Structure 1
């Protein structure tokens, strides 16, 4: 399928108008638009504007809170907890990164934990808010109401892919790491089901515990395999439990409360290298590591060793210059909402 290209500004204006007309306050609409489009700029096509229709339907159904703010559960300076009140995840997460970055400047490090957020999209989209200021950052997320990944050795889906992202400054630009505790994601599996496709490898497990590459097993009691698969899945399992603890556990709200509807628990951590061994010393170490990775001899079929996020940042530069290549089904998924809300669709360039 040919991917049509659109000017990034046009997509941002479209998303901003859609979410404003849907009833989000201006700052929330701006945040959702910004970070969905940012994901598409980086090439994360399942977590950008592909989510817009789902978000808009959630707003219409009352799943997403349209106005207001979070409640501060606790604020100890470098340790903060919010009750997110099911507000848009993009707004809550970006505000948390901004606050943690500000607090880390004062305290050296800061952690903001958010309970009961709505879906937050692509974690990598938020990292440059901190790395652009010389800070190291991590964002972790889980969904207490979801269960598509079985614990290692088990059969039944219990938790979500539970992603974690890290932004690590280097002298030549940040490493942007975005990984999950499952081999694939729910959004990708749903896309493949809609398109009648199967994975190239056994990244799922059916209800009987057999490895599978057919995403439709999810509709029949199957689950996503943890990172490491049936061979070393204890690694993804351990990662998932850690994410559950630092998100839902620290927030004090999660699976034990049996929440209904789409929600997320989020933890943002920011470190100021200057408060530890010093910023120059930090960059000396990360710069050495980046150079060593780039200099590593590539295995057959690989042109060069890249750093995490390098390709995404390259795609972003290309998209800003030549237009954003949207996955072909995305515009069609938005059009009914645009018609309902009276928002004009952009034209491809």
Structure 2
């Protein structure tokens, strides 16, 4: 049973989701049906249970509204499913006469009443009759016997998952990658200084091995620039700078511009006064939080940066993304070593790491993502189909997320992550997210021996491994290894991203299959 070749689809159903029950505890009946049907073709939708098949028929009769999805009939444009029968569709039941007169573009054969072991002949005959008349036929049933009359069978409860094919990566030297990123931004009308800042932050993430926050974001940034979600010339405006707390309005510009200004101001004032806080509101994506570490290091100030983002994280046991994949970063300067940096998302993993896997055509660990039913999945595409990243650490992780929401959301921005606009889903709007930068000077605390005590802490952690500590057992060690790989072998960028950006091969070092 194969898809009709060379025939224009008459019916297009895209990512149809149907649920029942109260919001927050819905039962998903159709988790994302996508199907096309050509004239004269019979496609059976074989559901796992009668309730799911009946729900799909109800959508086509107008008796039920789908939660999400689009339907197009004929040459019409896809449209959100409304509580009305789509035009050009007739619903027939086995044993009943079909519609007289004009042949419908689409015939939905309601075979939901066919029970196991029952005669499926009437359902098959109704489907064949409609197909002979030139109608595109959708045969909806939960009984496999009724589906045997179809040219193709799709399973709405088990959407197909293509086998992942890993894409090669194109490797760049750090300087060449930065130059290429600056070029893409300036070509889009971004001023030279701002382009250099944004490129620095993105490339820094790639060099440190956090590809989720690297130049793979550039195509999205450019899309948002073109559609108005990022104002390339917006100047951040200080709302207040009195006392230990300052508030900065980013005014919908590049997130990196306001974040750089906030980090510099926070670190300087903390060094002068012992502590300082800078809140940013009305902002866009600021990239990897650790990218602003140099300001705290230069002033010898411990920095704490918190950020909220749009909903992509599910609470423990939940399947719907209702919380932001918020982020927390601490920077601790050390006299003789590079700073200690702890940078993590409140989700099990940063959402961008899942999209990076999607760029490369690779599966993700089942612990990284749940689908719309709350079930673990390895398909990275599920993130943008309504899936969610689980919050890390169960209810304790949820507690960290709530702390971040209070500090970086409610206090800093007068908002919370459910109110933040998702940068991919609403490219024409500023995210309107917020951040909080905190600075604490060790001098104000009596100059404790920070380096010495961190050494004690490090030794204690190492001693806990009876057979020797693994190569990565402390924060920042993974980044050190990534920086060494980038220095020796270049920075990998997914080939799909390089193609999207139109970068020429003469800037690259090599093409390789391993982008890690």
Which band: TM-score by shorter chain? 0.7 to 0.9
Partner of 1:183: 348
Could you tell me whether the CA contact under 8 Å between 2:322 and 2:418 is conserved in 1?
A: no
In the alignment, which residue of structure 2 is the partner of 1:199? 364
- Matched ranges for 1:1-349 at <5 A: 3-143=169-309, 146-170=310-334, 171-228=336-393, 233-255=394-416, 258=419, 260=421, 261-263=429-431, 264-278=433-447, 281-297=449-465, 303-304=470-471, 306-320=473-487, 322-335=489-502, 346-348=507-509
Q: Secondary structure at the match of 2:235?
A: coil
Runs (4+) of structure 1 exceeding 6 A deviation are none
Cα displacement (A) at 1:155: 3.9
Structure 1 CA distance, aligned partners of 2:474 and 2:452? 16
1:212 counterpart SS class: coil
SS of 2:330 mapped into structure 1: strand
Report the alpha carbon displacement of residue 200 of structure 1 after superposing the two structures with TM. Answer: 2.7
Check 1:314–1:95 CA distance in 2 against 1; reply closer, same or farther (3 A cut): farther
SS in 1 for 2:238: strand
Give CA-to-partner distance per residue, 1:213-238, whole Å, 9 cap, x none.
3334434443211102xxxx112211
Report how far residue 46 of structure 1 moved.
1.7
1:173 CA drift (Å): 2.3
The superposition leaves residues 55-94 of structure 1 with CA deviations (integer Å, 9 ceiling, x where unpaired) of 1111121211111311222222321111111111122212
* Residues 59 and 305 of structure 1, relative CA distance in 2, 3 Å threshold: closer
User: Of Structure 1 and Structure 2, which has the larger fraction of its residues in strand?
Assistant: 2
Alpha-carbon distance change, 288 to 172 in structure 1, aligned in 2, over 3 angstroms: farther
Rounded to whole Å, the distance in 2 between the matches of 1:345 and 1:207 is 43
Cα shift readout 1:241-290 (whole Å, capped 9, x = no counterpart) = 111111121234324994543523111112111111305x2222123223
Does 1 or 2 have the higher relative contact order (CA < 8 Å, sep 6+)?
1
- CA distance 1:173–1:288, change in 2 (3 Å): farther
SS of 2:509 mapped into structure 1: coil
The structure where helix makes up a greater share of residues is 1
Q: Structure 1 residues 12 and 295, CA, compared in 2 at 3 Å: closer, same or farther? A: same
Deviates more, 1:101-110 or 1:164-173: 164-173
Count of aligned positions: 335
Residue of structure 1 equivalent to 2:150: none
Q: CA deviation at 1:317?
A: 4.3
TM-aligned CA distance change 1:324 to 1:45, over 3 Å: same
Q: Deviations over 1:123-158 (max 9, x none)?
A: 122223312442211211112xx2111233544211
CA deviation vs aligned residue, 1:22-52 (integer Å, no higher than 9, x gap): 2223332121011111111111112111111
TM-score by length of structure 2 reads 0.59
Note closer, same or farther for the CA distance 1:226–1:173 as it changes in structure 2 (3 Å cut): same
The 1-side partners of 2:227 and 2:197 are apart by 20
TM score, norm. by length of structure 1: 0.86
Question: Residues of 1 paired with 2:284 and 2:384: CA distance?
Answer: 23
**Distance in 2 between the 1:266 and 1:25 partners?**
24
Q: SS of the counterpart of 1:222?
A: coil
